[in-house]
Structure 1
Amino acid sequence: MAKHSHGSMDISEQEKTFNGFVRWTVRTVVVIIVALILLALING
């Protein structure tokens, strides 16, 4: 079995994927909030 050295793995791709997921999630939440505000104002 290979000896594992903590912190030696290249995780740049995982970091890019996670950052993309977080960015997408934040944008989606903002769009949903804006849509709810517009619905509240229109149906006011």
Structure 2
Amino acid sequence: MAEHKHGSMDITQHQKTFEGFMRYVVRTSIAIIVVLLFLALFGA
């Protein structure tokens, strides 16, 4: 079994993926809030 050294793994791709995911979640959440506000104000 291979030896594991804590903190030695390259996680740059994981970080980029997580950043992209969080950006998507924030933008989608803002879009949903805007749509809900529009519907609340103009009563569709």
- Using the size of structure 2 for normalisation, the TM-score is 0.94
By how many angstroms is 1:30 displaced? 0.1
Counting matched residue pairs gives 43
By how many angstroms is 1:39 displaced? 0.4
Runs ≥4 residues deviating over 3 A: none
Deviations for 1:1-44, whole angstroms, at most 9, x for unmatched residues? 1111000000000000000000000000000000000001111x
What is the aligned-residue RMSD (CA, Å)? 0.5
**C-alpha distance in 1, partners of 2:2/2:30?**
46
Unaligned runs of 5+ in 2: none
- Using the size of structure 1 for normalisation, the TM-score is 0.94
Unaligned runs of 5+ in 1: none
Aligned to 1:40: 40
Aligned to 2:24: 24
